[in-house]
Amino acid sequence: MKVLVLGGDGFCGWPTSLHLSDLGHDVTIVDNLSRREIDLELEVDSLTPIRPIGERRRVWQTLTGKEIGFVHLDLATEFDRFEALLRELRPDALVHFAEQRAAPYSMRSTAAKRYTVDNNVRATHNVLAAIVDSGLDVALVHLGTMGVYGYGWSGSAPIPEGYLTVKVPTPDGDIEREILHPANPGSVYHLTKTLDQLLFAFYCANDQLRITDLHQGIVWGTQTPQTALDERLINRFDYDGDYGTVLNRFLMQAAIGHPLTVHGTGGQTRAFIHIRDTVRCVQIALENPPVRGDKPLVFNQVTEVHRVRELAELIAKLTGAEVAFLPNPRREAVENELNVSREKFLALGLNPIFLSEGLLEEVREVALRYKDRADPTKIIARSVWRQGMETSPDLMRS
């Protein structure tokens, strides 16, 4: 299969590109390298020493004989170039990772809010419009988020995979309808993913595009078998207050002797997936596309659910780290339950990796190996959801 991986230089996109190339697919990465520029803006770097994209591709080719193409292109602003690329390469499928993906970054300033909306919504719409314009029958797999559902709306009922059956009262009695699950975004970033969903619904209905939307939970881990082949293929590891996600952050904090930064009571319950399962899920989604005329196919890309406080306790027990309960910089439910349907990937053969399987130790080892690259002043989350919210002091004793 010829696949374009949009956002293929990022944390999920790079290991997915290698995984698909390893399976024999013809992969081309399309990326504007904006994530690397945001590192410069935030004056922080991946904990792992990621190499330039050209070097990454050269090393992969030397080790495996397989070539991965690369096109430096901004999907939000370079529509004509992207459309021409589709006509030239005529891919069978696109995997779309190319969005600004951090909730705290999206809330840090008015400029960041505007950038996140402009970048994400325009990129997604340009991809859809270019597919229509090209006249190609390309399957699109998009990385969405569990955060489109929000945390609390469904109460104890399981969150379905995308659609909810509702009863609508009419004068002649109730009728049943299947609707997109109501959106309840908790940040400007999550808001853009709920807007993506409407774009997909429209383009499926109007142009019969074939679209799969993967509502992914928080990704943890860093290496896959392919990124671990050579240090020059290593995946990125974000640990800073904007881009670092909770479980990888806790593991990195434990490695450098920083107290684990629990926001509020840590009663937030979230869905998780290991990066090795992310790449397998994308593969499964590519192998099982919807047919023309279907509405968007939605999968919940989640393997387990945990409460933040319990993760901190688990890592504290494993490593002896201290746990710090900090003022929560976000506006989010203090405590929530989360019950997620995740049958579809299991039915298609996903054999999930769980936290209990020893990979926590692997992430900890990566964090320990590169701990000298960490800047402790970048750990505390400083982006607040509203002006005037309290932020935390630095916790590192030097």
Applying CB under 6 A, which residues contact ligand USQ?
A: 101-103, 145-147, 217-218, 245-246, 249, 261-263, 266, 268, 270-271, 308, 328, 330, 332, 381
Residue recorded with tokens 């926590």: 360
- Nearer CB in complex with ligand USQ: 68/312: 312
Question: Positive or negative CA dihedral for 71, 73, 78, 82?
Answer: positive
Distance CA 14, CA 285 (A): 17
Taking the least distance from each CB to ligand USQ, the nearer of 45 and 196 is: 196
Q: Catalytic one among 145, 194, 245, 269?
A: 145
55 touches 68 (CB < 8 A): no
**76 counts as binding ligand NAD under rule CB under 6 A:** yes
Does position 99 interact with ligand NAD (CB under 6 A)? The reply is yes
Of 23 and 323, which has the nearer Cβ to ligand USQ?
323
| Whole-angstrom distance, CA of residue 226 vs CA of residue 351 | 18
- The H-assigned helical ranges of 9-109 are 13-22, 34-42, 53-64, 79-89, 103-106
- Residue 75: which of ligand USQ, ligand NAD, none does it interact with, CB under 5 to 8 A by kind? ligand NAD
34 interacts with ligand NAD by CB under 6 A:
yes
Residues numbered 187 to 226 that lie near ligand NAD (CB under 6 A) are 216, 218-219
Longest dimension (CA), the chain: 72
What does the DSSP assignment read for 91-156?
-SEEEE--S---HHHHTS-HHHHHHHHHHHHHHHHHHHHHHHHHT---EEEEEEEGGGT-SSTTTT
- Judged by CB under 6 A, which of 3, 4, 5, 7 binds ligand NAD? 7
Q: Which residue is nearest to ligand NAD (CB)?
A: 10
Q: Which is nearer to ligand USQ, 134 or 194 (CB)?
A: 194
Report the interhelical angle of 110-134 vs 188-207 (nearest 10°): 20
State the minimum distance, in angstroms, from the CB of residue 229 to ligand NAD: 19
User: From the CB of 101, what's the least distance to ligand USQ, in Å?
Assistant: 4
Asked if 206 and 192 count as a contact pair (C-beta separation under 8 A), the reply is: no
Q: From CA 267, how far away is CA 333, in angstroms rounded? A: 8
Q: Is 64 annotated in the active site? A: no
Partner in contact with 32, chosen from ligand NAD, ligand USQ, none, beta carbon below 5 to 8 Å by kind: ligand NAD
> Is 145 an active-site residue?
yes
Has 189 been annotated as catalytic? yes
Stretch that binds ligand NAD, among 59-67, 94-102, 329-337, 377-385 (CB under 6 A): 94-102
Least distance from ligand NAD to the Cβ atom of residue 273, Å? 8
> From the list 13, 186, 221, 266, which residue makes contact with ligand NAD (rule: CB under 6 A)?
13
305 touching ligand NAD, by CB under 6 A: no
Nearer to ligand USQ among residue 57 and residue 249 (C-beta): 249
Distance, in Å, from the CA atom of 33 to the CA atom of 72, rounded to the nearest integer, reads 7
**What is the distance between the alpha carbons of residues 69 and 385, in angstroms, rounded to a whole number?**
39
**Given 115, 116, 192, 193, the catalytic residue:** 193
DSSP-assigned letters across all residues of 278-313: HHHHHHHHHHSPPPTTPPPEEEEE--EEEEHHHHHH
Q: What residues form DSSP beta bridges with 306?
A: 270
240 binds ligand NAD (CB under 6 A): no
The residues annotated with a catalytic role in the active site are 145, 189, 193
